[in-house]
Structure 1
Amino acid sequence: MNDAAPGNRGRAQDPPSRRSVLRTTAGAAGAAGLGLGALGGTAAAAETGAPETTATPPRQGRTMAGVPFERRSTVRVAMVGLGNRGDGMIDLFLALPGVRVVAVCDPVRAKTERAAAKVVRAGQPSPAVYANGEHDYERLCERGDVDLVYVATPWDTHFAMARTAMLNGKHVGVECPLAMRLDELWELVDLSERTRRHCMQLENCCYGRNEMRVLRMAHAGKFGELLHGAGAYNHDLRGLMFSPTYYEGPWRRLWHTRLRGDLYPNHGFGPVAGYMDVNRGDRAVSISSFGTPALGLAEYREANVPPGDPSWKETYVESDRTVSMVQTAKGRVIRLEHDVSTPHPYSRINSLGGTKGVFEDYPARIYLEPDHTDDRWADFSAYADEFDHWLWKEHADPPGGHGGMDYLMVFRLTQCMRLGLVPDFDVYDGATWTAPVPLSHASIRAKGAPQPIPDFTRGEWRRARPGLDSVRPA
């Protein structure tokens, strides 16, 4: 039981019993026959320009848009997955005010022992350890002293872990992508609504300093009417994917033998969706994707991997570069790119354009009227004093990796949980940012044919509401 403040409205969000939710889930899944074909849609296709789609599954609970956390003095976190990502993130959770790490879970016991030692060194009680096989997270989720389950495991496990956490009455934060199939995304949306638990895609790039500055400038009208944006995950991962030690097994590389589309759209999509208030006044309605031949990983293997390595049995189909065009209900265009198989410098592109000018990142540069009139890029840092987000003004040098965005993400999440605030993003955002994984694959197979993006909000997107551009709590 958490220490929710008496009279806090969050008490009204207590979850239903696990048995009742399981019974409803089974009936709904059987009735809807959810799969790649059940794409969802919008009830206002004619007025928004959205394509005609199959009917959106009926809502089974109540919307989670605008629903606050229950207020609590301490956030009790359980860590599931303690590889490269989880091992780094536990340090940040331990550095946060009002946060306790109460349980750690990984099938590799040495990783749980290392994590438990970190907790003790931070001055907290020794956490419970779950290292008894691939499904021990299920026992962890049954604990009564956990408020948030943090998931940093291979992609194909995210859905089951998020589902189990919510069925046991826990809020859950998942590293990207949220799930790998549309029916899984719909089930997480439905479970969040029925259990009244938040299921969040923990998209750290939304908290980058440049991203948050562009966000505030966009919302202040500096770009005029927004027209287009772009985001990407262009990151040469060939060496890491063939490394025998970096990942726990070849799980990430094996996805390149299964899908052809954008495997990791969230880092690019999340920030641009924030700029454009996607799910908060606009929505993504369709995606058209194109992919190059899959040559990069095979060429790298030929040059760097010895004969007899198990990877020589693999056939790669994932496009070396995918390019997707997302159309919004307001007619805006978002370009997404993905390339982890060829040599190139790191870039998330991170671009935004409107009727008054444009910003482009990598390197950061800007051109806005009436500030600039010489057709030359200008210094983006000139806008820092006025438009840096309050998180970056209060944490000018945050700890942790990725330039501090990881720390600010979990600081803000746990702050919202302690103060009983609405989270900066919700299950609808996570599902929308992840939908390009299966849909880009389907579009590439259909030679670029547009694929409808479901309206996971079921119409709530028409209502303007706060998001990442938060106000500093009093």
Structure 2
Amino acid sequence: MNFKKTFMAVLSAALLLPATAMAQFNWPYQIKDGTIVTKVPERPAGQKDVLNLATAKLPVLRVGFVGLGMRGHDAVRRWCYQEGVEIKGLCDHEADRAEASNELLRKAGLPPASLYSGEEGYKALCERPDVDLIYIAVDWEHHVPVAEYAMEHGKHVAIEVPSAMNLTEIWKLIDLSEQKRVHCMMLENCCYDFFELNALNMAQKGLFGDVIFGQGAYRHDLDPFWDAYWKRDANDKLGWRLDYNMKYRGDVYATHGLGPVAQIMNIHRGDRFTVLSAMDTKSFLGVKKAEQRLGHKVDNFRQGDLTNTMIRTEQGKVIQVVHDVMTPQPYSRMFHLVGTKGIANKYPSEGIALNDAALKQAGIKPSTNYYNGEAFLNAADMQALNKKFESPIITKYNAKAREVGGHGGMDFIEDSRLVYCLQHGLPLDMDVYDLAEWCSLAELGSLSMDHNCMPVAVPDFTRGHWNDQKGYRHAFASAEDEAAQDKANHEFTVKLKATAEKAWKKFDKQQAKIKAAKAKAAAKK
């Protein structure tokens, strides 16, 4: 296929929107038999996939944080509870944010971290030889530049959602992870919510039969938050997130809803997304929010108030994903599974319904007649079911997660699993191909809608290896290795905290000198 030639020809065709509407995405594609097909770049010679990538054990995990706003600051707070971890550096565009996050370490009795700020402050942090992991929580358009620089310097990266916004960025992250043999994980916390983790465990044990349909969403009225997002300067009236919604079409925040469903459906572990089609409303509310802040009429607000994407898989299953951050409504991720033996549903209320055969298989003696799955289990039977099928991850982290918090505790579980896998040298719970599949709905959905909702082939981001692994699974160390690592973690953290008082005295003196020098320089001006 001559993608470049076809792409340029299609650009000039009448069926496409004007060039200004298409400017957001530029990955080569062609239309074949009524379906949009994007280019899949060949894997360079000698480069291998990173399915089940296991890297050297990191008994003491040394981490640097880049982006300390809404998400990043609380991440630092939570990581202060992780034993066997040393926070080496804190970076944000705004220096005061790095300073504020450093105070969390003081409060936790930990030594101070080195501070970095400015447009490219992250580069010095990524270049440090004593950092293993870069935790990235910047605005969406800076996720990939930071991750790219970190991986080029041999660091593992954990990137907030959505980690990549278009196919150019997605393929760049895939190639870097494969070339450098480093982990590139998207921080999709909703895969660690309690209901979703238990539903995954139930599905893996066959409780729902074949899961044939799933729904996921991000339905969250962001009206209270638009003005809280970072603004570059006084001329920035929208903040980065509303500005992004104004410029870009497609499901730009699909991962919260899609991630847990994709894991349950074993995507690139025996099944894969093959085709999607997207449809959106026009912008009724979004454009008004932009106009109110800009003070003038806006004619090109790209993001529809609601975007609906339908995905079909190789095994003949279907997933629906919805994005709506504009309309007033209760928060919902729409988590819904339909299986051949029963269903699971999280919003607006949690419930599981199973046919009689599934209840018998589960060993649950029902306290009432559920008419072969026509009613949700009552509280007593749900409690019995959850107890029997509790995810081992919840069993391990539940108490501490509820104490530390972070979206009810799922953020802490996510952190803990990341630390656990890196310390034990195990494959992470999410790999770069998960990131690619879940983030691809932005550009692929936009292509579909810009072509009157035409089907779009979803690339095989594994480039031929989607069926190598049979079934999604979490990796675990042996009980003996867990106990030894937990002991070492605690001993390291006790010793680390013993150095904190002296380290803070030295740090405070250095900061006082720096501030005095800045004040003196300012006075001369």
Do these two structures clear the TM 0.5 threshold for a shared fold by scoring above it? yes
Q: Which one of the candidate residues 42, 67, 73 is aligned to 1:81? A: 67
Q: Which moved more, 1:450-459 or 1:229-238?
A: 450-459
1:187 corresponds, among 172, 188, 191, to 172
Selected match of 2:262 from 261, 273, 281: 273
Q: Is the 8 A contact 1:78 1:103 kept in 2?
A: yes
Residue of 420, 428, 433 corresponding to 2:425: 420
Indicate the residue corresponding to 2:88 in structure 1: 102
In structure 1, the residue matched to 2:182 is 197
CA distance in 1, matches of 2:457, 2:274: 6
CA distance in 2 between counterparts of 1:56 and 1:185 reads 11
Asked if 2 retains the 8 angstrom alpha-carbon contact of 1:83 and 1:248, the reply is no
The CA deviation string for residues 196-231 of structure 1, in whole angstroms up to 9 with x for no partner, is 111111100000001111111111111111211010
Q: Are the aligned partners of 1:425 and 1:468 in contact in 2 as well (CA < 8 Å)?
A: no
1:392 aligned onto 2:394: yes
Map 1:48-59 → 2, pairs under 5 A = 53=37, 56-59=40-43
Instruction: Tell me what 2:377 maps to.
Output: 378
Q: Distance in 2 between matches of 1:382 and 1:348?
A: 25
Amino acid paired to 1:285: T
Q: CA deviation at 1:425?
A: 1.2
Residue 219 (structure 2) pairs with residue 226 (structure 1): no
Structure 1 counterpart of 2:434: 429
Deviation string for 1:91-127 (max 9, x for gaps)?
Answer: 1111111111100000111101111122233233221
C-alpha distance in 1 between matches for 2:316 and 2:51: 23
Partner of 2:337: 352
Name the residue aligned to 1:440.
445
| Aligned residues: CA RMSD | 2.4
1:71 corresponding residue in structure 2: 57
State the shift of 1:178 in Å.
Answer: 1.4
Aligned to 1:123: 109
Cα distance in 1 for residues equivalent to 2:27 and 2:99: 44
Is residue 2:153 matched to residue 1:168? Answer: yes
Unaligned runs of 5+ in 2: 9-24, 233-238, 360-369, 480-525
Q: How many residues align?
A: 428
Q: Who is 2:138 aligned against? A: 153
Structure 1 residue 313, shift from structure 2 partner:
5.7
Retained in 2: the 8 A contact 1:77–1:150? yes
SS of the residue corresponding to residue 239 of structure 1 reads coil
Q: Distance in 2 between matches of 1:290 and 1:429?
A: 23
Which stretch of the first structure deviates more once superposed, 74-83 or 455-464?
455-464
TM-superposition CA deviations, 1:56-91 (whole Å, max 9, x none): 322121111111131021111100000010011101
Q: Given the alignment of the two structures, is residue 139 of structure 1 paired with residue 124 of structure 2, yes or no?
A: yes
What is the deviation of 1:136?
1.3
Output the CA distance in 2 between the equivalents of 1:68 and 1:347: 35
SS of match in other structure, 1:447: coil
**In the alignment, what sits opposite 1:5?**
none
**Structure 1 equivalent of residue 460 of structure 2:** 455
Which residue number corresponds to residue 369 of structure 1?
355
Output the CA distance in 1 between the equivalents of 2:137 and 2:38: 33
Q: Equivalent residue for 1:340?
A: 325
Deviation at 1:180, TM superposition (A): 1.1
In structure 2, distance between residues paired with 1:466 and 1:377:
27
- Alpha-carbon deviation of 1:299? 4.2
Structure 2 residue identity aligned to 1:428: Y
Residue 275 of structure 2 corresponds to residue 286 of structure 1: yes
Deviations 1:295-335 (A, max 9, x none): 11344567xx5xxx436465522110011001111110000
Q: How many percent of aligned residue pairs carry the same amino acid?
A: 37
Deviations 1:353-388, CA, capped at 9 Å, x for gaps: 111111111111111112342522224444211112
The answer to whether the Cα contact below 8 Å between 2:307 and 2:324 also exists between their aligned partners in 1 is yes
TM-score under structure 2 length normalisation: 0.77
**CA shift for structure 1 position 55:** 5.5
Secondary structure of the equivalent of 1:430?
helix
Would the alpha carbon gap of residues 283 and 39 (structure 1) be closer, same or farther in structure 2, given more than 3 Å must change?
Answer: farther
Structure 1 residues 245-283: Cα deviation after superposition (integer angstroms, max 9, x where no partner): 454451000012112211100001110000000011101
Bigger radius of gyration, 1 or 2? 2
For 1:254, the equivalent position in structure 2 comes to 243
1:434–1:301 CA distance, 2 compared to 1 (3 A): closer
1:113 aligns with 2:99: yes
Identify if the C-alpha distance between structure 1 residues 409 and 324 changes in structure 2 by more than 3 Å, giving closer, same or farther: same
The CA deviation at 1:464 is 2.2
| Deviations 1:159-186 (CA, angstroms, capped at 9, x unpaired) | 1111111000000000011111101101
Change (3 A) 1:93 1:240: same
User: Are the counterparts in 1 of residues 353 and 376 from structure 2 also a CA contact under 8 Å?
Assistant: yes
SS of 2:386's equivalent in the other structure is helix
Q: Which amino acid aligns with 2:397?
A: H
Is contact 1:215-1:469 (8 Å) kept? no
User: Structure 1: which 5+ residue stretches go unaligned?
Assistant: 1-28, 46-50
